[in-house]
Structure 1
Amino acid sequence: MPAVGDALDHAWRSTENLPVTPIERARFRVHLFNTALQRITSTGEKPKETLDGIRITKRAVRLALSDAYHRLATLTPNERERAALIDTANEVRPWTLI
């Protein structure tokens, strides 16, 4: 059975040549990084595994998920949906201590 990161990475890369719209691709990226975050929560970090070059660690996946939500927001025409996506992006982004 392939590692979680490998399976998710394979799913992501399998869309590269598919005729999907940018918003569909952005939604799929959000879905994959949400799945990765759920797996980290249930089984722990997998720093040797990657998803689109991102290590499967809580911090890295949360940053990538936040970025994915921001990207999806830029592609979303509805203002309310866009605002909700930005709020979600800000919620999942890890805190930084200055």
Structure 2
Amino acid sequence: MNIENIDVEQVAKAIDADAGMNLPGLRESLEQAKRGEFAEVHTPEIIMARRGRPVGSVQESTKRPTTLRIDEAALARWRASGKGWQTRAAELLAKHAP
């Protein structure tokens, strides 16, 4: 089967039926595929090669890893505060440093 010859509506209905629901963006994605617009494939090798800062970016400040002993309950509260907790903790420590 050549993807350029697919009946988008027929294929979408079959996929939606199989999924048990209408999938958002499905018809648009099928139309793009039919036109030959394909998304980039992300293999583990490509992902690993792209790790780190984007080319050309400049780090505002350097950070140094350290070991700090913190009460388990306090650490749990920081972690529960969500993503970015380490940055917020570091800012608070810097603000109150002697």
Q: Greater share of helix residues, 1 or 2? A: 1
Higher relative contact order (CA 8 A, sep 6+): 1
What band does the TM-score fall into relative to the shorter chain? under 0.3
TM-score by length of 1: 0.22
Of Structure 1 and Structure 2, the greater strand share is in: 1
Structure with greater Cα Rg: 2
